[in-house]
Structure 1
Amino acid sequence: MPTYIFDDVYGDQRPGSQSPRAVYEPPWNMWDPAGGTCWGCTLGTNLPIPINPHNATMETCHTVTVKEGDTATNVSITFVGTSINAYCILPPNTTSPFIQDTFLSFTSDEMNVGFFEWTGTTSQWTYNYLVFSRENLTQGEHTFIISPQNQGSKWSFLVLDYFTYK
């Protein structure tokens, strides 16, 4: 069975797919950059170690920072298949408390299916990092949700790149 890319901006790349594009909640104004292109990303230009857009799949990404008291934030996709993988760009070790940690929870078809935690320890961004994988889903339509969540006083920084599915 072939593997298909579901891009954070351009959506499902399977030929003939009728899947809607990714849904970002709250609406796009909390997600940076608007439109999801890393080219204009302020994080790519205002960080000590910028994100390189050429290293992002289809040169796109979406970012969001979640702190205590923020509105629930998530991104969801709907796809037809039997497996799902989620890939992110993970932050390096920085002195900034709002971009060093990533805490994510995952929901598949309304069931909590996992959690991911990362604290930057390297000096560079980590690209194409598999943060979630699930196989052996029943063939059919599925909804998958990523929710960045702070952990107490630690903020959660998400740089979503893309998904793959079969």
Structure 2
Amino acid sequence: MIREYWQHSERRPSCDAQGWFCTGDLGYLDDEGWLYIKDRSKDMINRGGEKIYSLELENILSTYRGVREVAVIPTPSPVYGEEPVAFIVPDGQHHLTSEEILDWLKVKIARFKLPARIIFTRALPRTHNGKVSKQQLKTRLAESIITLSTEDKK
């Protein structure tokens, strides 16, 4: 159990009433006691009451030929609350289309887990420590939706 962060004793970790450290990770223990991490709680997508783990979808999409990198984020949905959107960085050697990727995904995952949109991009934004910045992707997506809705009215 930890009581403080290393070299940041003024910061206290988030703990529950029993003193358990809350990491924000979602996972489960199997019958043999193995711990499996499914996703971060902030990255889980709630689509009409169904839980979609962005990490699961990212892992599957990353196996598709021509996909160099992928990140999945939630986007607001007036019908379902949230829906997944996949940002894909192609490897540059294969021509990828949203339609072919969605057709491939349909035999791999439940229909409710399918991304509402697939967006191809040259690179994924990074945080200062090199992780994919899903917050920047959410901002980019929100700005593109605003731009599209403004252009639709012209």
> Given the two structures, how large is their TM-score scaled by the length of structure 1?
0.22
Which structure has the bigger radius of gyration? 2
User: Which structure's relative contact order is higher, taking Cα pairs within 8 Å and 6+ residues apart?
Assistant: 1
Relative to its length, the structure with more helix (as a share) is 2
